[in-house]
Chain A
Amino acid sequence: MQQRFDIGRAAQTPLRAERAPGPQTSMHDQAGHVRGVEATSGGLIRSTVISGAAALAVLTIFYLPAEYGVDATGLGGMLGLTEMGQIKQQLFDEAAADDAAAAAAPVITLDPAVTARLDRMEAQLLAIGAIIGAPAIDLPAPAFESAPAEELVVVEPEPQPAPEPVATESVPESAPAVEDTEANPVPAAEAAAIEPAVEAAVAEAITSEWRDQVNYTLAPGEGIEVKLVMQEGQTARFEWTANGAVVNYDTHGDGSGQKISYDTGRGVPEQAGELTAAFTGNHGWFWRNRTDAPVTMSLRTAGDYAEMKAP
């Protein structure tokens, strides 16, 4: 029947001292409540010093070695705690180094002129492919890692292997070959039929207001990152929209051993503007759908950048 745990009455519960009043000292008030402690000035100083010293001892003997590998007393090493702290610090350092390395990953940026030529070639290829009924090639798809090379080998006619070795040396060295292409396009007699289609495709690739456009549907909780490979100072125009929904975004860049966050936002429906690379690297957007319905993202970009890196 004694309600020991009745919080509402907790403080009123009569104290033992109240029931059987002991020697009335300064630590008890008239109700018999203990209101303080018996202490002397010197005793308090001693207690304060002891408690401070105890805290200091625990920090220096255990905490600093075990967390930071800092062993001022030498006891941490004997106890094996210093090793713990050193391993922890090593892991932290390695994690930081990994982050830095990821940010410093070399970035391949192509000369915009070369990129433009490649774009034209791409368009021509697609046009030709469409006309002859070959499946369209989706370049960035990882599935193509090995397939394209084989495909090329298959279609390559045996009697004409001669120009290859020179052209394979490097991209810059192959540039003259590209010039050749422009100067001497596919022989007119053979290409007459496909010329208009190619022209149209090329024209679209070159003159379209936007260079790249990607669309993604993000399930609730899903995130996606699209980046542009840019050199320092290059500016790209962009326009993205969640098509009536909202997303969280983080416009950021990394590369050249640096990281930057240009802009972040939560619950934003769309954005348009220009992105100027603060350093050579990958600059772009991370979006995450924090709504409870799927969101369709559309991004269009144009301007100075080597390439769009999209999943």
Chain B
Amino acid sequence: MSHRTQTSWFADHGPLRVMVLLATIAITLLWAEAALAHAVTLGDKGYIQEITGPQIIPFLYLGAKHMVTGYDHILFLFGVIFFLYGMKEIGIYVTLFAIGHSTTMLAGVWFNFGINSYIIDAIIGFSVVYKALDNLGAFQRWFGVQPNTKAATLIFGFLHGFGLSSKILDYDISPDGLLVNLLAFNVGVEIGQLTALAAILVFMNRWRAMPAFGRQAYTVNVIMMGLGFYLMGFQLIGLAMA
């Protein structure tokens, strides 16, 4: 066991040793690049994909956020209460809408039934167009019939719920704590809806007290219909370009 032993070994195998090291370094560098390829999702979706187990407050927040920032839901809600007066009347329609979207949201996620997000969001855009036409009395003028407004609210509630469930499924939510998280999300949606509703009512209340409301109601519903068409087009373009 002399120093010479070591040197002679290295003399014999030094070049190979260098090659091994270079190859290792090269692979390490390549690997460092490959490490970046690990798919990462950002934002709410990224968060949901990372967590597991019951997370009540976070899902309450996400549900409320989705509703308050979801202009499609708010536009529809705005259309629904446009000509409604009194807490009882408004309460009935808002409850119908809530029952509708809660049912399909929970069932859709639970049974893993999702619809293409672009398609369901285009349908939600259509619900805005429908409600605007309904407010304008177009169905009565054109077809001589007034479709049941409560049934329409419930049915569009179902469709809005599919929009929500498709989004949650797209989030790849963990099965662990699913029910609790879904219910929290749902409660959050209702909180968000009531928050949005409160803001709408404050505005509507003052507006409807003005004599101009009767005149402006027509124009506003036409604008709302245009926004509904815009939402539809927006989603259909997304579908075509995806």
Do they bind each other? yes
Q: Does A290 sit within 8 A of B, measured CB to CB? A: yes
The stretch of A26-34, A203-211, A271-279, A297-305 in contact with B is A26-34
Q: Interface 1/0s, chain B 204-228, versus A by CB < 8 A?
A: 1110111101100110011101111
Q: Does B44 sit within 8 A of A, measured CB to CB? A: no
* Alpha-carbon separation in the docked complex, A177 to B211 (Å): 99
Say whether B9 contacts A142, CB under 8 Å. Answer: no
Given A37-B136, A54-B229, 6 further pairs, Cβ under 8 A = A11-B205, A27-B214, A41-B141, A52-B225, A229-B27, A267-B53
Residues 119-168 of A at the B interface (beta carbon under 8 Å): 121-122, 124-125, 128, 131-132, 134, 139-140, 142, 144-145, 148-149, 152, 155-157, 160, 163-164, 167-168
Nearest-Cβ distance from residue B167 to partner chain A, whole angstroms? 19
The stretch of A56-64, A75-83, A212-220 in contact with B is A56-64
Say whether A36 contacts B37, CB under 8 Å. Answer: no
Nearest-Cβ distance from residue A70 to partner chain B, whole angstroms? 8
Residue among A4, A56, A59, A177 with the highest chain B CB neighbour number at 10 A = A59
**Which of B4, B137, B227 touches A55 (beta carbons < 8 Å)?**
B227
Say whether A11 contacts B90, CB under 8 Å. Answer: yes
Say whether A190 contacts B51, CB under 8 Å. Answer: no
Instruction: Using CB atoms, name the residue of chain B closest to A29.
Output: B85
* Alpha-carbon separation in the docked complex, A31 to B204 (Å): 17
Residues of B near A5 (CB, < 8 A) are 202
Query: A55-B230, A144-B21, A266-B174 given as contacts; is B15 within 8 A of A167 (CB)?
Result: yes
By size class, the interface of chain B is: 35 or more
Q: Interface 1/0s, chain B 131-148, versus A by CB < 8 A?
A: 011011110011000000
Instruction: Using CB atoms, name the residue of chain B closest to A290.
Output: B50
Q: Interface 1/0s, chain B 175-197, versus A by CB < 8 A?
A: 01000000000000000000000
* Alpha-carbon separation in the docked complex, A35 to B81 (Å): 11
Residues 45-59 of B at the A interface (beta carbon under 8 Å): 50-53
* Alpha-carbon separation in the docked complex, A41 to B27 (Å): 73
**Which of B38, B85, B208 touches A250 (beta carbons < 8 Å)?**
B38
* Alpha-carbon separation in the docked complex, A252 to B38 (Å): 8
The stretch of B60-68, B72-80, B97-105, B233-241 in contact with A is B233-241
Q: Does B36 sit within 8 A of A, measured CB to CB? A: yes
**Which of B3, B137, B210, B233 touches A39 (beta carbons < 8 Å)?**
B137
Instruction: Using CB atoms, name the residue of chain B closest to A19.
Output: B209
Residues of A near B176 (CB, < 8 A) are 266-267
Q: Does A73 sit within 8 A of B, measured CB to CB? A: no
Say whether B138 contacts A10, CB under 8 Å. Answer: no
**Which of A40, A121, A254 touches B13 (beta carbons < 8 Å)?**
A121
Q: Does B201 sit within 8 A of A, measured CB to CB? A: yes
Residues of A near B151 (CB, < 8 A) are none
Instruction: Using CB atoms, name the residue of chain A closest to B24.
Output: A139
* Alpha-carbon separation in the docked complex, A289 to B38 (Å): 16
Say whether A44 contacts B136, CB under 8 Å. Answer: yes
Instruction: Using CB atoms, name the residue of chain B closest to A152.
Output: B14
Residues of A near B221 (CB, < 8 A) are 37
Q: Does B7 sit within 8 A of A, measured CB to CB? A: yes
Say whether B18 contacts A149, CB under 8 Å. Answer: yes
Say whether B28 contacts A10, CB under 8 Å. Answer: no
Chain A interface (Cβ < 8 Å from any Cβ of B): 4-5, 7-8, 10-13, 15-17, 22, 27-28, 31, 33-41, 44-45, 47-48, 50-52, 54-56, 58-59, 63-64, 68, 99, 102-103, 105-108, 110, 118, 121-122, 124-125, 128, 131-132, 134, 139-140, 142, 144-145, 148-149, 152, 155-157, 160, 163-164, 167-168, 170-171, 174, 177-178, 180-181, 186, 190-191, 193-194, 225, 227, 229, 248, 250, 252, 254-255, 259, 261, 266-267, 282, 286, 288, 290, 307, 309, 311
Instruction: Using CB atoms, name the residue of chain A closest to B17.
Output: A152
Say whether A105 contacts B33, CB under 8 Å. Answer: yes
Say whether B25 contacts A144, CB under 8 Å. Answer: yes
Say whether A102 contacts B53, CB under 8 Å. Answer: no
**Which of A4, A37, A255 touches B34 (beta carbons < 8 Å)?**
A255
Residues 17-45 of B at the A interface (beta carbon under 8 Å): 17-21, 23-28, 30-31, 33-39
Nearest-Cβ distance from residue B178 to partner chain A, whole angstroms? 12
Residues of A near B141 (CB, < 8 A) are 39-41, 44
Say whether A108 contacts B26, CB under 8 Å. Answer: yes
* Alpha-carbon separation in the docked complex, A310 to B115 (Å): 41
Instruction: Using CB atoms, name the residue of chain A closest to B14.
Output: A152
Residues of B near A134 (CB, < 8 A) are 6
Say whether A148 contacts B21, CB under 8 Å. Answer: yes
Instruction: Using CB atoms, name the residue of chain A closest to B22.
Output: A149
* Alpha-carbon separation in the docked complex, A152 to B241 (Å): 58
Instruction: Using CB atoms, name the residue of chain A closest to B90.
Output: A11
* Alpha-carbon separation in the docked complex, A186 to B86 (Å): 98
Say whether B34 contacts A102, CB under 8 Å. Answer: yes
Residue among A31, A102, A255 with the highest chain B CB neighbour number at 10 A = A102
